[in-house]
Amino acid sequence: MKKTYYFLMLSLVSIFLFGCAGDEVVISQGQSVQSKEASSEGEVSPDTEEVADTSEVYVYVCGHVNEPGVYALCVDSRICDAIDKAGGVTEDANPTALSQAMKVTDGQTIYVPGIDEENVDASGVEEDDGLININKASEEELTSLPGIGSSKASDIINYREEHGPYNSIEDLMNIPGIKEGVFNKIKDKVKT
């Protein structure tokens, strides 16, 4: 009887010790490692350890695309992949002005130019010549020009929206209130 009692106690202690050890499950999903440990009461307490994510880059796609915005892409993605994520190009886009086979980099701005635009290099980054593009400028940018207040800036934008892009900077003189005097002040500070 003593032997049976001893064997029964040893079995119970073994079951208790092995049962309390808990189950540890590690799940790897590429970006984070999750460890779940089961306690003796059946509760699950998740512990998550974040792993540095180097598998994605973020790029800003703008210009003549259907859905401009910031997109997360795989680190080996190309400019063509970024344009696809942005819904493709619009009808008036000039996608051949870009080298779409170039790899994207984290934080990159990809500008898809229009057919009528010239100052874009092969990477899609517009050259900064210090001139204000009257076909893209905001009211704030336009009011920084001499002789252009918020009213004339609104007129410039409204004209652009009603008649399409300006073909030349001289088209500004079609706007009431912008004649030779004002035009001569701004002609060296603007471009189309």
Q: What is the pLDDT of residues 72-102, one digit of tens each?
A: 999 999 999 999 999 999 999 988 888 888 8
Strands (E), 64-189: 69-74, 109-112, 132-133
The 10 Å Cβ neighbour count of residue 172 is 22
Nearest Cα to 93, choosing from 105, 80, 76, 107? 80
Average pLDDT of the segment spanning 52-73: 87
> Which tens digit of pLDDT belongs to each residue from 100-158?
888 888 888 888 888 877 655 544 444 557 788 898 888 888 999 999 999 999 999 99
Q: What average pLDDT is seen over the chain? A: 77
Least confident of 6-15, 27-36, 57-66, 160-169: 27-36
What gap in Å lies between CA 138 and CA 133, rounded to an integer?
A: 9
Range 4-19 average pLDDT: 66
Contact 148, 142 (CB under 8 A): yes
Predicted local confidence at residue 165, as pLDDT: 85
pLDDT tops 80 at residue 160: yes
- From residue 49, alpha-carbon distances to 24, 30, 35, 52 in Å are 15, 12, 8, 10
